[in-house]
A and B are shown apart, each in its own frame.
Chain A
């Protein structure tokens, strides 16, 4: 059973388009993080959200934490080829002590 469901798993779009990646669960998370991983490298932390309804922006990336702290989304505006990579959501379930990951969204931005 996957505790965090990411969708879509694969996404290929043209440069300049917008996109949204979703991370959903039936569990409540005390915090949720988004990572980006490039081939041959470890995941790099992009953002952490902890408050229900929280929205954080990182240049063209907008991260939102659901009001109930069960889901999150990552929206990229005007995607660029440099955004290509594997995007992972991860969270700590309330009351638990380990970081659980979604399957990842493999994003390809075509020039």
Chain B
């Protein structure tokens, strides 16, 4: 999983600010997943994207959260007007083909809202 790069590793935001989390997939991978993990819990699916397309966003909260994966550059998970409940670890995974293949994870971004 060393090939999937997430930054920053740690992010502190005050309530009401915006958080931008970046994910650069492994070379040759055109599909990206975002997951959220609360302390002591498993991973919850948020959104699945391929370049310039959102394939499945059924796990994304309806408000304040958005994701993109442009033709050039990293995938971005954006959280507007953060609240304390947004504090979590956010993981990105990438795969070369979306369906039925292995996904490799980055090291995550730990968001703390104060």
Contact = CB atoms under 8 A, between A and B. Distances in A.
Answer whether A and B are interacting partners: yes
Given A41-B108, A42-B91, A48-B102, A99 B33 contact: yes
Contacts, number: 65
A12 B64 CA distance: 40
Contacts of A35: 105
Contact of B56 (A48, A97, A104): A97
B56 A101 contact: no
Chain A residues touching B, range? 20 to 34
B99 A30 contact: yes
A110 B47 CA distance: 37
B5 to A, nearest CB: 11
A31 B45 contact: no
A42 B48 contact: no
A19 B98 CA distance: 33
B103 A33 contact: yes
Interface of B: 1, 4, 6, 33, 35, 40-45, 48, 55-56, 58, 91, 93, 98-108
